[in-house]
Every structure is written in C-alpha cells, then in structure tokens.
Amino acid sequence: MAARLLPDGRRERYREEWSADLRDAPAAGISSTQLVSGAFGVVLRTPRSAKAFGLTPSALAGRRLRWSVAWIAAATALALGSLFTRPFLAGGPIGGTPAVDLVVVALVGCVGLIWLAAATHGLLAASGPALRWGGTLCVAVVAVPALAVVAVAVMPMMMLGGMFAGVATFVFAWGLPADADPERRRTWPGLPARLGTRVTALVGALVVLGGAALAVAHILVWNPSAKVPGLTVPEIYAQMAARSEPAGDAVIWAVVWGATWVPLGLLFLATAIFGNRGPLRRLDARRVARAALVALIGIGFTQWVAGFSMGMSVADAFAVSGGDSALSGLLLTAAATVAGVIVALRVLPPASVAAAPSATG
C-alpha cells in the first residue's frame, strides 16, 4: 500500500528496496512494524508537486481529476447496487442496515472528493496560500450539492437511456478510435489481456447475449412467478388480461430492450471467430473486456427500465409490489455492481507515468 501511494516514477524502486528490507529484517534484528512505519513516513515526506511527478501542473491536475471521477463512479455503482438489492437484502449488498450502505457509499465518494480537492489545489499551486486553500475548499464544498443533484437525475437519465444502452455500447466498442501505438494499447489501464483476443471475445459474447437473455427471462417469466406464486406464467398472463392489464405491450418492450444488446454480442462473436482484423481491428482483448463489463453494468442496472411496464401491470392486476422479487434480479444487480466497481477503479483511472521524475522538488 505504501508503494502504491508513491508517485509512479518512484514506485518500483521503493517496492524493490522495501521488499528486500522486509526479507532481511529478521537477521538484522529489525521488526517489520518498524520498516512499514518507516515506509509510510517516506510516503508522507514525498513531494507531491507537478515537478516531482515530472508533469505540468495541468497534466497532474487532469490525472487527479480522473481519479476523482473513478472513485465517484465506484460510489455510484455501490449506491445503485444497494438501491436495487434492497427488496432482497435489508440494507443492500453491503449488509446490515441502510445506514451502513450510506456510510460505505459516502466514504468511497469522499475519496473522490479528496482527489477533486487535490486537483484543484495543484492547479492553484502558483497562487497565494489564501486563494489556493480557499479555492480548494470552495470546490470541495460545492461538489457535494452538485453530486446530489446529479444523483437525483440518475433515475430519469436511466429511464431515458436504458433502452439505448446496448446500441450505445456497440457504437463505442466498434467505432471509438484506438491509439495508434500498440504498446500504449497494451499498457493502458484496464483488464489484462492474458486470454487473447478471441477467447476474450467469446467470453464477452456469452456475457452479453446470456445476460440479456437472463434479464428478459427474469422480466417475463421468473419475476411474475415470484410475485404470484401458485400460478403458472400462462395463468398469470391470462388473469392479467382478464383484469384489464394485458401483458402484450410489456412483452414487446422487454423483447425490444433485449434485442438492442444482440448487435454487441454478435460483434464479439464475430471477433471470436475471425479475430480483430479488417473492420474488427479495433477490438483487441482489452477493449472487448472493457466493453463486456460496461455491457454487464448496462444490462444489470437498466433491466428495470425494460421491466417497468410488466412490473406495474403485475402489481396492478394482483395488488403486489412493483419491484423485483425473483433471485435472478438480485444476481443481475450484483453482477452490475461488481462490474461497475471494476470499471471505475481499473478502467477510468489514468495510466501510470512511466518515466521517473527528474527532480525531487
């Protein structure tokens, strides 16, 4: 952890030194606790200026801003996971009570605010102390209500964009320009490419097509059955029609939503068969893995949009709740939450600065 908290250019050097020190400490009569505390002392004394990182102030602020976005995105994924799993678990995926969920989400979000404050502080490094610290505090304080407003807008945004999430992911995965330098593509943060492009693409196709099919089955079969136990699905649909709540439009809505994910799954399947050549040249293993994770987030967190009509029809026809009741909904939400945290903390952060700093100031 101490090594990870150091500037990128110094990290490997100190990691090697500290590992050797820990290995040789017993023979020298030095406790590992002393070495670890000394390592964190080095971390606290290490300069954090742009010069120490070998970057311009604006470049360093941009890196810190990306870390801020990453941690706030992780908090958002955890908050959505807690919200959607509350019908199944008291207090959501983190356990305990809703207050525990709120505390964990707030702590993760606060890390993002700290990075935001650090970015602001770095940009104002040339200013006087009053302006630098006052501006940093101002940005941190204003960010809290601003994020609250964004949080309130999340649900309407998901409602509007949930039906197009699959198409949007397909367009970005296929059409987003790739860096011309293959070495940069290999070292850019994200998932490792150990499986190779074709195997990764096959796994991605199974995730997207299987996830979409699971979500549609959840909306149309498993969730209605869980809400109205004792009746078969045809009997549920027949009673819905008899009570002026026909399922026809809701079925079409769910199937159309599921179909929007099929092009992305077929794109991955084509990559698995033909490799990333010709029109598929941008789909290397890392891009496929990242796009599959984004798709998993979209499927898990927007399936309620596709199932909203069916849920309301079942609720009105049988006087039950409109939320998820089948365990398939819990699985979809849990997968989306885990994928959201992975994308937030593995894909959104900036790449490491490869060059060691030229100065210590």
Report domain extents, the chain: 1-46, 163-347
Q: Is 349 strand, coil or helix?
A: coil
Better-scored residue on pLDDT, 300 or 21: 300
Which residue, among 190, 175, 208, 201, has the nearest Cα to 300 in the 3D structure?
208
| Cβ neighbours around 219 below 10 Å, total | 29
pLDDT score for 253 = 92
pLDDT score for 181 = 65
Where does the pLDDT of residue 99 fall: very low under 50, low under 70, confident under 90, or very high at 90 and above?
confident
Tokens of 359: 């100065």
Average pLDDT of span 300-314: 91
| Phi and psi torsions of 88, nearest 5° | -100, -40
Tens digits of residue pLDDT in 212-235: 999 999 999 999 999 999 899 999
Pairwise CA distance, residues 267 & 287, whole Å: 12
Only one residue has tokens 């199944």, namely 88
Pairwise CA distance, residues 154 & 77, whole Å: 11
Which residue, among 76, 5, 68, 81, has the nearest Cα to 40 in the 3D structure?
5
Task: Note the pTM of the prediction, 2 decimals.
Answer: 0.83
Which residue, among 225, 297, 213, has the nearest Cα to 255 in the 3D structure?
213
